[in-house]
Amino acid sequence: MTRLCAAQGDTGRGERWYCIGRADHPGAHTDDHGRARYLPGQALQELVHRWGRTHRVAYTGTLWVAVHRDPHTHWRTEIEPTPELLEVRLREHHGPPPGPAPELEPGPVPVPVPGSVPRQRGATP
C-alpha cells in the first residue's frame, strides 16, 4: 500500500492545502490543483536563498515579511500572506533575486599563518 505525503498548510486565502504526493516524493509538495506547495520552513529557506543578499525574510506565523537591508531604499518592507506573493512583490520592486547573503555562501577557509597564531589561554610555552 502506498502511503501519502502528510504535508499540509495554509493557502493564505483561509483554506488549507493537502499534498497529494506519495510519502517519499522528491521536490515540492503538490496540492490537488497541481500547484507546488512549500512548508513554511522550506519556503523560508528558499526565500532566504534567493533574497538574502538584499533582504531579511521572516514568517510571522500568518504573514511573510521581507525587509531590505538598506534603510534608504524604496519599498523597504514587503508583507504578503504567502511566500509566492512575497516573491512576486520582491521581483516587481527589486528585479531578479540577488542570491543568498554572502555569509551563507561557502567561502575560502582562512589559513592560519605559521608563527602568527596567538597562544591559547593557559597553554604552556
The residues binding Zn ion (CB under 5 A) are 5, 7, 19, 21, 29
Report residue 41 as a C-alpha cell: 520552513
Taking the complex as a whole, the smallest distance from the CB of residue 29 to Zn ion amounts, in Å, to 3
Nearer to Zn ion, 9 or 97 (CB): 9
CB 53 within 8 A of CB 102: yes
Q: Which is nearer to Zn ion, 29 or 68 (CB)?
A: 29
Least distance to Zn ion, CB of residue 68, Å: 32
Nearer to Zn ion, 1 or 111 (CB): 1
List, as own/partner pairs, every contact residues 102-107 make where C-beta atoms lie below 8 angstroms and the sequence separation is at least 24, other chains included.
102/53, 104/48, 104/49, 104/52
